[in-house]
Amino acid sequence: MDFVEQTYWDKSYQKTQFTTLPDRDPIKIWLKTFIPKGSGTCIEVGCFPGGILSCFGELGYELHGIDLTPRIEQELPAWLNSKGYSVGNFLRKDFTLFNPKTEYDIVASFGFIEHFSDWQAILVKHASLVRKGGVLVIEAPNFRGPVQRLLHFLFDKKNYERHNINSMKPHEWGKTTKNLGFEIVFSGYFGNFLFWADDDNQNWGQKLIINLIQSATKRILKKLPNSKYYSPFCGLICRKL
């Protein structure tokens, strides 16, 4: 990842607890709306800490993963196995150097491609791992939408700068994958409205405003329809023909 040093992720994940996503989580809802139950294979690129990957386990898929974080090799597959999911191979490896001999029924990543300057090449590499009839799932935060962009720039700037804002174009992802022989199932924005801040260096005024926004979200804003202008997530789901 050329926007973020691997040491940042390793430090961030040292004490991360493994947990499944709650049923109300927007990404989980999105996946269960468009991904059918199955018994094939699923690989998540940048899979640690496995919460999203567990959604595919709940749908019946055999779980595989690739990441550079040390805890991926033993701790993550052990936790997934303890949850009763079918567990395959977990590799501590650089995805850009990953050249498997197999293809997968589902290839997915969440919050991954937007950390690269050459995100198109990363997307094409994802697509190359999908078996005929299989599904590609790509998700990224929508920091490009003007409302989210302003909020993250003002209140979450360090985190904002770790992302390639120009990569957050789901319709461009769709054009690329259509040229590679995929049909689009979903391309757009979801999650209604949410705002979070990973940067913990805000002053008291910034923290107050963040709390007000999050309070308003719980009461009113979460009911807004999905929009490229303010929804928190953008995503692509497509099937290889």
What confidence tens digit (pLDDT) does each residue in 74-112 have? 999 999 999 999 999 999 999 999 999 899 999 999 999
User: pLDDT grade, residue 205 (50/70/90)?
Assistant: confident
**Is 14 part of any domain?**
no
Please report the pLDDT score of residue 160 as a whole number: 92
Q: In what order do the strands lie in the sheet with 130-141?
A: 87-92, 62-67, 41-45, 104-110, 130-141, 233-240, 182-190
**Is 109 part of any domain?**
yes
Give the span between the Cα atoms of 200 and 202, in whole angstroms.
6
User: pLDDT grade, residue 200 (50/70/90)?
Assistant: low
Please report the pLDDT score of residue 167 as a whole number: 97
**Is 228 part of any domain?**
yes
Check residues 34 and 215 and name the one with the higher pLDDT: 34
Instruction: Report if pTM > 0.85.
Output: yes
For residue 101, the one-letter residue type is K
Q: Does residue 46 surpass a pLDDT of 90?
A: yes
**Is 52 part of any domain?**
yes
Please report the pLDDT score of residue 90 as a whole number: 97
| DSSP character string of 32-81 | HHHPPP-SSEEEEET-TT-TTHHHHHHTTPEEEEEESSGGGTTHHHHHHH
Please report the pLDDT score of residue 13 as a whole number: 79
**Is 157 part of any domain?**
yes
Give the span between the Cα atoms of 38 and 24, in whole angstroms.
22
Residue 61 belongs to domain spanning: 22-240
User: pLDDT grade, residue 1 (50/70/90)?
Assistant: low
Domain containing 174 — which CATH number? Answer: 3.40.50.150
Cα-based distances in Å from 169 to 46, 134, 136, 234, 236:
20, 22, 16, 8, 10
Share of residues in the chain with pLDDT > 70 (%): 98
**Is 11 part of any domain?**
no
Report the SS3 class of residue 133: strand
Q: Does residue 236 surpass a pLDDT of 90?
A: yes
The pLDDT tens digits of the residues spanning 145-183 come to 999 999 999 999 988 999 999 999 999 999 999 999 999
Mean of all residue pLDDT scores within the chain: 92
Check: CB of residue 138 under 8 Å from CB of residue 108: yes
**Is 189 part of any domain?**
yes
Q: Does residue 199 surpass a pLDDT of 70?
A: no
Q: Does residue 212 surpass a pLDDT of 90?
A: no
Give the span between the Cα atoms of 140 and 198, in whole angstroms.
15
Check: CB of residue 230 under 8 Å from CB of residue 193: yes
User: How many domains in the chain?
Assistant: 1
Work out the average pLDDT over 50-72. Answer: 96
**Is 16 part of any domain?**
no
